[in-house]
Structure 1
């Protein structure tokens, strides 16, 4: 029968991955309901929500309905569309928290974070594209060609929250090198900034990438974080995501 998993702190990730590997059908995801977002927003005097790219998921639309429901009960809420996923969402949360800690007004925070989202870069390397293809996040033709050639695609956000193919690599070493090189190619300022790497059961890749970033650039911090449920579903086994 069907198995349902809730992506929260109670999720047994190894069991979730085992079930997904053994499933012959199409794994699907569903955004939290507007009511769940509403209830979350009502736990704070002022709340900020950060969602997966609205072009990849219904999460942003659901969160906006939840925001309206919460505001009907007097809440003060703003929802950010990260136009990214996983590592990108974490990076937006870090930026938002830092501005809150500085005592910035809601208007200042919104303006600053929205500008940050526009210049934020997200790249990822996947070993298994099957779930992206099955769920329509990548065209079947593009995915099948990549899989048939036995190459690792370097994918990323096109700046508007859609997935674009940037480069291809053969083998892990070249994948790590090309991923690290995206920082220089993006011509972003790294001094004092944070980079986030998320991975699905691929800590060795993530740590080697972290080492290259620290050697080549001036990031104040490079965080490595394991993926949780939804990100693990699309990144699949060994997927690695970088945001800066």
Structure 2
């Protein structure tokens, strides 16, 4: 096996990625009301959302250990890559870097690079897709790293959430201006900065208006989309994701598009009804 990719479980995998055999998910652990839930293939979104809704405390997540990453890297592949949540939002990146250092102490010839996605969810998915494309094009390890890092610097992530409580309570919105009271049904349109922090881009009254403002923001930012993939993930709202997809495809001629359901970490932060988009 020439290359191996380890992505933390905020990364949603496509059906094709799951079949490949050389893309591994490093699960985060979710904690809801004293119960620990491993964010792996056993994750049950509907059950999880119900537990979150019933629990007065805010759910939390714990990143995979450096030891998990170390073992994942020592799998016989010549080139290893990790893709993690934005380092501004999670300890997953630092854990993977430490795991890479430990693995390279055991095998000095092993080539490992940890990509800070500066994103989350399907932002990570698109980075995994880009690594696969580069490796299959026969690029050297160094060229893959250079190409994918450049890609990350041009990628944009956007989201509109029905409920911001988890982000707010877990301190992930600390750098965002105070949000208008939810009693007014104001929904902020959020995005990621180039460093991977969360920022408010716009707002609207009502979720559908906010989604259309997000579409406007994506179209305004979009460049050279004929070579890009549009990725959408949703938390338990496929019809809403389809509506946003159609609105974007009317205005952008992208190369490809896919829609995925959120896994555990993304479900925890996006909450029921959230939409995340990366391009």
Deviation at 1:70? 1.2
Asked if 1:197 corresponds to 2:232, the answer is yes
Deviation at 1:47? 1.0
RMSD, matched Cα: 1.6
Taking structure 1 as the reference length, what is the TM-score of the superposition?
0.95
Asked if 1:233 corresponds to 2:265, the answer is no
- The answer as to whether partners of 1:83 and 1:160 remain within 8 angstroms in 2 is yes
| Aligned residue pairs, count | 244
Match of 1:41 among 73, 77, 91: 73
Q: How far apart in 1 are the matches of 2:125 and 2:41? A: 16
- The answer as to whether partners of 1:123 and 1:243 remain within 8 angstroms in 2 is yes
The residue that corresponds to 2:60 in the other structure is 28
Q: How far apart in 2 are the matches of 1:108 and 1:157? A: 26
The residue that corresponds to 1:76 in the other structure is 111
Q: Which runs of 4+ in 1 moved over 6 A?
A: none
Higher mean alpha-carbon deviation, 151-160 vs 164-173, is at 164-173
The residue that corresponds to 1:51 in the other structure is 84
The residue that corresponds to 1:153 in the other structure is 188
Deviation at 1:140? 10
The residue that corresponds to 1:62 in the other structure is 95
| Structure 2: gaps spanning 5 or more residues | 1-32
- The answer as to whether partners of 1:192 and 1:218 remain within 8 angstroms in 2 is no
| Structure 1: gaps spanning 5 or more residues | none
Between Structure 1 and Structure 2, which shows a larger proportion of helix residues?
Answer: 1
Q: How far apart in 2 are the matches of 1:155 and 1:142? A: 11
Deviation at 1:171? 2.4
Taking structure 2 as the reference length, what is the TM-score of the superposition?
0.83
With over 3 angstroms needed to count, the CA separation of the structure-2 counterparts of 1:10 and 1:45, relative to structure 1, is farther
- The answer as to whether partners of 1:29 and 1:230 remain within 8 angstroms in 2 is yes
Q: How far apart in 2 are the matches of 1:140 and 1:233? A: 20
Q: How far apart in 2 are the matches of 1:212 and 1:20? A: 31
The residue that corresponds to 2:120 in the other structure is 85
